[in-house]
Each structure stands twice: as C-alpha cells, then as structure tokens.
C-alpha cells in the first residue's frame, strides 16, 4: 500500500520540479524530502526521478504515479470532506425502521421538524415489525429503529443497543358504534369474555391473549392481521372487537367505531433504538431529538 503522506510529498516535488522547492512549500528540510522520496522509490521498486542539471525529470513510472497519484489524493480529499460533513453537519442520510402505526404518525411528525432544522438531511424509511426489525439494526441495514413491546416482555433482541423511551400507550377497546359496550365510559375486560376478537400482529396477539388470561378467559379470535386499517374495517363491519394502543387511534378512525377505556394494566411501550456510537453523530442526535419531540405531541 502506498503511503498517502509520501504521495503528497511526491506530488509537490513533481509539480515544483525540485526537492528544495518542495521543501520550501511544505515547510520542511530538503533532506526530509529526499528521505521520503527514497522510501517511496523502494516501495514502488524503481526510480521516479532523473536528475537533469539542477532540476528533476520524471521517469515513466514517475509520470504514471504523478497522474494517478494526484487523482487518488483528490478522491481521498473529497471523501474526507464528505465524511466530515456527515459527521459534523446536517448533510447525509438517516435510515429509519419503524412499525406501521409509527411510520404514519411519529415519523412524519419528526420529519417535519427535521425539514425545518436540517433541510439537507435525507430520510430513508423501512417498515418492519419486531422482532424482525431488530435484525435490520443489528446487521447495519438501518441507523435507527422504532419498536414496541408490552409490559413484562423480555427485550433480549435489544442487547447492547441504546434505548430511548418514546411513548407509554394505554390500550383501548375498539367496538362498532351501536355495540352493547359503546355507551360505556370504562369497562372491565371480563365483560368482553363472550365477544369475538380481531387480533393484530403476533406480538400484539400475544399481549391480547395474556391480558384476557389475566381477566379469566381465553379470547375467541376470529381474525388476525397486522394492517391497522383492516382491523378497524373488520370491527366496523361487526366481525369482532379489538384491543388497540393509543398511537393507532391518533391517526386513523374508521367511521362507525367507538373506543372504550378498559380496566387493565396492559399497555404498549414504544421506544427508539440505536447503537451508542451512532448517537454521537450530530445528525443522528438531531433525528432522535425530533422523534422525542414528536412523541410528546402525537397522542
């Protein structure tokens, strides 16, 4: 591998035509320049200069190295500039993975904040449910992950990651307008024991099963889907009732639906995950701050 410092010295010698002129420009001694060039010639395996009187003439190898070495140094300088801009300013791309209800609520609200504060920042969005979403962050496919969990649920997949809490969402009962429970301000989950249920994603279905078990019954689940609009449509059509977190109801309300508070300790916790080293980057820190601000206003 060629030493970039030696390449820089070589480029200066080739441009100025002598070791002494290069030494003056680089603010060092002529012997230091000679030593660097001898080391470079040993590395490439042959002479790069031929002395012609008081000046120097490039050999064929020297001409090739001068041409390609200058281009290489220019590319390295441009790369360094881009990396510095990404690390210290607001230029770059942040890749965010989020579950569906966060993608249509939290992420747009945070993006609006970033559009004003960091107009050159580009967001790339990926939609995925946990636990599969954690695999994307672990293999470096995304920079930030918005995920959720329920009470007492282990978070083994997040080991080593930085966790930033965003929301604590109480669960509400979603019923059709005209349902026997629609007029109630608050009900016990036991009162739904004879109902049919529409369940969400596997993690949400597990939370429903657990909450109903604690209430003393097993839910009669007639349909499961991770599509929030489909859940609301199925409930509106009278095919079952559903247990939904507050974030879902913050952005979408199908006609013909009513929400009822329930007596249950069950809630969904939404949090942001990233790697501790990434949070040190200003653009990552700014994105995290925007998501925290958006979460405080979304419900």
Residue 162's pLDDT band, with cuts at 50, 70 and 90, is very high
- Whether the per-residue pLDDT at 91 is higher than 60: the answer is no
Dihedral angle sign, alpha carbons of residues 54, 57, 59, 63: positive
- The answer to whether the beta carbons of residues 230 and 170 sit under 8 Å apart is no
Residue 116, C-beta contacts closer than 8 angstroms, at least 6 positions apart: none
* Lookup result for tokens 């590319």: 75
Give how far Cα 271 sits from Cα of 49, 187, 193, Å.
Answer: 62, 28, 31
Per-residue model confidence (pLDDT) at position 110: 97
Mean pLDDT score of the chain, rounded to an integer?
89
Quick one: pLDDT at residue 182?
92
pLDDT at 112 over 90: yes
Confidence of residue 103 (pLDDT cuts 50, 70, 90): very high
Q: How many residues are listed for the chain in this entry? A: 299
pTM over 0.75, yes/no: no
């Amino acid at each position: 591998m060629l030493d970039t410092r030696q390449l820089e010295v070589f480029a200066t010698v080739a441009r100025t035509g002598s070791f002494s002129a290069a030494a003056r420009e680089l603010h060092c001694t002529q012997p230091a320049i000679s030593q660097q060039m001898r080391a470079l010639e040993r590395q490439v395996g042959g002479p790069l200069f031929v002395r012609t009187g008081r000046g120097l003439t490039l050999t064929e190898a020297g001409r090739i190295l001068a041409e390609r070495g200058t281009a290489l140094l220019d590319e390295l300088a441009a790369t360094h500039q881009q990396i510095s801009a990404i690390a210290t300013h607001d230029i770059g791309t942040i890749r965010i993975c989020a579950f569906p209800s966060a993608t249509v609520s939290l992420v747009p609200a945070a993006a609006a904040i970033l559009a004003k504060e960091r107009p050159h920042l580009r967001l790339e969005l990926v939609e995925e449910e946990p636990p599969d979403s954690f695999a994307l962050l672990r293999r470096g496919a995304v920079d930030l992950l918005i995920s959720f969990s329920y009470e007492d649920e282990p978070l083994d997949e997040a080991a080593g990651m930085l966790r930033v809490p965003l929301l604590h969402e109480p669960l509400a009962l979603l019923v059709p307008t005209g349902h026997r429970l629609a007029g109630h301000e608050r009900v016990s989950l036991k009162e739904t024991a004879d109902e049919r249920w529409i369940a969400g994603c596997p993690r949400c279905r597990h939370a429903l099963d657990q909450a109903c078990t604690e209430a003393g019954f097993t839910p009669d689940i007639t349909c499961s889907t991770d599509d929030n609009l489909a859940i609301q449509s199925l409930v509106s059509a009278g095919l079952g009732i559903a247990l939904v977190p507050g974030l879902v109801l913050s952005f979408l309300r199908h006609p013909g639906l009513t929400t009822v508070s329930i007596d249950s300790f069950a809630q969904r916790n939404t949090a942001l995950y990233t790697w501790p080293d990434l949070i040190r980057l200003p653009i990552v820190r700014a994105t995290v701050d925007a998501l925290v601000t958006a979460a405080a206003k979304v419900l």
